[in-house]
Chains A and B, each alone.
Chain A
Amino acid sequence: MKKTIIFYISILLIVSLTNKIQAVELNNIDIHGFISQGYLKTNKNNYLAETEDGTFQFNEMGLNFSTDLTDQLHIGMQFFARDLGDVGNDSLVLDWAFADYRWQNWIGFRIGKIKFDHGLYNETREMDMLRTSVMLPQSIYPELWRNAFSTIKGVASYGYVPLSFMGNLAYNFQIGAMDFKQDSGYRRFFGIQIHDFLDISEIDADYAWVGSLAWNMPIPGLKFKMTYHNIEGQKGHGDIWRTFEDPNRITFPVDLEFKERDGYIASIEYTLKNLILVAEYMQEDFPFVMTFQPWPPQGSTPSPQGWTPIPPTRESEGWYVSGSYRFTRWLEMGLSYSEYYPNADNKHGYGKWPGYEFLSWLKTTTLSTSFDINDYWVLKLETSYNDGAGGINMMDNPEGLNRYWCLFASKITFSF
């Protein structure tokens, strides 16, 4: 907490010490930063935090330093803190820190803690001021697992290959370790992808790698991108609890082992002057073995009364389409529709508790408005209508979930 306060004050000091608010350059070191405060309110269901009562526990701040050591060697680091309900709690973390050597047009190398290349917008999800919406589509970019999927500690190779009149290709390959262990949000989100009542207490992986290929097509503004990721040696354990309808909650400890976990995102983005259209589709497979402690059953063998047998593999699926348009220098609006299925083999909720089939999907329509007050301040207002509760944590809603619900989100961001 003390570190966070010092961090917050240092951002304000840097801003106030400059005669004109702008990026700061000290001894050839660039200093940039941002700070944002949001508000979330739902009419039903607690989503990401205690949103039924409205919450201000939705903020972010970052401060980065970078410089060029030579014409081709660039280094930098960013400190970051965020709060979202009981995730983050404004703990100060090293968000990224790496050295980037750009050898040729077609190849460069990065080593250190690098932003994880995952779809079109994962690398920039901390940069609220770069998009129209407050929340990225949760079908592809779940807010709760963003810490674990934010960076990778390891090495990367990237570059650009011209294709003459066919545009150009941009590639990126990253391999290293991802920080699942420290991400409480990831544990909460991933648990319910496997079982509605699974609370994962610990999870980690050996290593991960990701490869992406983006084709900037000859038609100006049109980009197609494929991203594939693979996580090796993921293991964890937690508890499955019986049901929220049972007043005497019973938990059963389980161990989880994932043989291999992989997924891909296909993305397309088209920019035409002030109009940006985007579509992305993601699928992720995670075959796993779940071992009950201290008694059988295991996997899909008969389970306690009222429980759905757990298949040994899961496929989650999500997609969205969105469009945004800048009407004036200060006003931009966006509209998106997304669908998310924690278990793509059961999109209609077969086998769920009667009346709770809607835990198998989340369909969201979102309208966003962004006001660029000036080059440094952005205010956003957003409302979304939701059908379903796929991916929403039951433990945040001990009184049960509702199928239809609305979320209002607002956020103000300052960046320099």
Chain B
Amino acid sequence: MKNRISTGIMIVVLTGIFFILQSVSFAGISYVNDIVIIGNKDVPVDSLTAHDIRSIFLGEMIKWRNNQIIIFVISKTKTHEDFLSKYIGNTAAQYRNYWRKMVFTGKSRSPRSFETDEEILDHVANTSGAIGYIPSGIYSDKVKIISIERETNK
């Protein structure tokens, strides 16, 4: 049994090393110039790491640091694909399938989505604890911009 466990782990670890070596050049996380992350003005943070953003939009992180419930919303515009590519590392089809998996296994409802970026802006502005994303060009001061922290070994 022990030998087989070792063999199994070895196969998976070697495969992992292969994938890591193949992906080193894609490991960096870049800042996005044309998309801004916005939050309702009562959201208790001014900045988040890229991993926090990923966790929020995958439904893994559900509460802000003050225990307030996080309400995240997504758009059906081109901005959505750009956002997914930069922050989630998924294509639109993969992200859709992720939420279909959550729905069809009973773990969650689908996230609320909007047809236009302006609707996202309005919804975030009017919903306590809400977070979303919009093109920087339509930003208005009825929401606050959440900046992206560089992730370091804290």
Which residues of A come within 8 Å of B, CB atoms? 23, 30, 32, 34, 62, 64, 66-68, 71-72, 74, 76-78, 96-98, 100, 102, 104-105, 114-115, 123-124, 126-127, 129-130, 160, 162, 164-165, 167-168, 170, 218-222, 224, 264, 266-268, 270-274, 277, 279-283, 285, 315, 317, 319, 321, 326, 329, 344, 372, 375, 415
Closest 6 CB pairs of A and B: A220-B89, A281-B8, A160-B60, A266-B12, A270-B19, A76-B106
**Contact assessment for B94 and A271 in the assembled complex, using a CB-CB cutoff below 8 Å:** yes
Q: In the complex, given contacts A34-B104, A68-B109, A100-B108, what are 18 additional A-B residue pairs having Cβ atoms less than 8 angstroms apart?
A: A64-B103, A72-B62, A78-B104, A105-B61, A105-B63, A126-B104, A162-B51, A165-B152, A165-B153, A165-B154, A167-B51, A219-B23, A264-B5, A271-B90, A315-B1, A315-B4, A319-B8, A319-B11
Partner of A266, one of B9, B62, B89, B96: B9
What chain A residues lie within 8 Å of B62 (beta carbons)? 72, 102, 105
B79 beta carbon closer than 8 Å to chain A: no
Whether A160 lies near B55 (C-beta < 8 A) is yes
The residues of A that contact B52 with a CB separation of less than 8 Å are 162
Contacts of A124 in B (CB 8 A): 101, 104-105
Complex Cα spacing A59 to B51, Å: 40
Contacts of A66 in B (CB 8 A): 103, 106, 109
Q: Determine the chain A residues whose CB is within 8 A of the CB of B152 once the complex forms.
A: 165
Q: What are 11 A-B contacts with C-beta separation under 8 Å?
A: A23-B110, A96-B105, A105-B63, A114-B106, A126-B104, A127-B100, A219-B26, A224-B12, A273-B91, A274-B91, A279-B15
Tell me whether A30 and B97 are in contact in the complex, defined as CB-CB below 8 angstroms, given that A224-B16, A272-B23 are known contacts.
no
Measured CA separation A103–B113 after assembly (Å)? 24
Complex CA distance for A127 and B97, rounded to whole angstroms: 10
Q: In the docked arrangement, what's the CA distance between A219 and B25, Å?
A: 10
- Please indicate the chain B residues that have their CB under 8 angstroms from the CB of A272 in the complex: 23, 26
Query: Do B61 and A160 touch (CB < 8 A)?
Result: yes
Question: Most chain-A Cβ atoms within 10 A of its Cβ — which of B5, B106, B154?
Answer: B106
- The chain A residue with its CB closest to the CB of B20 is A219
Contact check, A30 vs B108: say whether CB atoms are below 8 A apart: no
**Inter-subunit contact A268/B103 (CB<8 Å):** no
Check A74 against B109 for contact (C-beta < 8 Å).
yes
The dominant DSSP class at the A interface is: strand
B19 touches A222 (CB 8 A): yes
The residues in B between 32 and 50 inclusive whose CB is less than 8 angstroms from any CB of A are 49
Chain B's closest residue to A121 (CB) is B101
Once the chains are docked, how many angstroms separate the CA of A129 from the CA of B60?
Answer: 23
Decide yes or no whether B151 CB sits under 8 A from chain A: yes
B105 partner residues in chain A, CB cutoff 8 A: 96, 115, 123-124, 127
Complexed CA–CA distance, A193 and B69 (Å): 49
Best-buried of A64, A74, A114, A220 by chain B (most CB within 10 Å): A220
On whether the beta carbons of A321 and B23 are closer than 8 Å, the reply is no
CB pair A221–B107 under 8 Å, yes or no, is: no
Any chain A CB within 8 A of the CB of B93?
yes
Q: How far is the CB of A228 from chain B (nearest CB, A)?
A: 11
Known A219-B20, A326-B93; contact A170-B60, beta-carbon cutoff 8 A: yes
Among A115, A164, A222, A268, contact of B106 (Cβ-Cβ < 8 Å)? A115
Contact pick for A78, options B91, B100, B106, CB 8 Å: B106
Q: Closest residue of chain A to B69, judged by CB? A: A71
Q: Which residue of A lies closest to B61 (CB)?
A: A105
B138 interfacial by beta-carbon distance below 8 Å: no
Residues of chain A lying within 8 A (CB to CB) of residue B103: 23, 30, 32, 64, 66
Closest residue of B by beta carbon distance from A96: B106
Question: In the bound complex, do residue A168 and residue B51 qualify as a contact, i.e. CB atoms below 8 Å apart?
Answer: yes
- Which single residue of chain B is at the shortest CB-CB distance from A108? B62
Interface positions, chain B 54-103, Cβ under 8 Å from A, are 55, 60-63, 69, 85, 89-91, 93-94, 96-97, 100-101, 103
A49 CB, min distance to chain B CBs, angstroms: 25
Q: How far is the CA of A126 from the CA of B100 in the complex (A)?
A: 12
Residue in B closest to A280 when the chains form the complex, CB atoms: B12
Q: B4 contacts A165, CB within 8 Å?
A: no
Closest to A267 in B: B12
Given contacts A218-B27, A219-B23, contact A164 B5 (CB under 8 A): no
The residue on A at minimum CB distance from B71 is A71
B23 near A221 with CB under 8 A, answer yes
Q: Shortest CB–CB separation between residue B1 and chain A, in angstroms?
A: 6
Contact of A285 among B1, B69, B107, B153 (CB under 8 A): B1
With most chain A CB atoms within 10 A of its CB, the pick from B20, B51, B85, B107 is B107
Is A268 a contact of B12 with CB atoms below 8 Å?
A: yes
Question: Are B11 and A344 interface neighbours, CB within 8 A?
Answer: no
Chain A residues within 8 Å of B110, by CB: 23, 30
| Contact between chains at B109 and A30 (CB < 8 Å) | yes
Inter-chain contact A72/B69, CB cutoff 8 Å: yes
Q: Shortest CB–CB separation between residue B51 and chain A, in angstroms?
A: 7
Contacts of A280 in B (CB 8 A): 12
**Which chain B residue has the least Cβ–Cβ distance from A114?**
B106
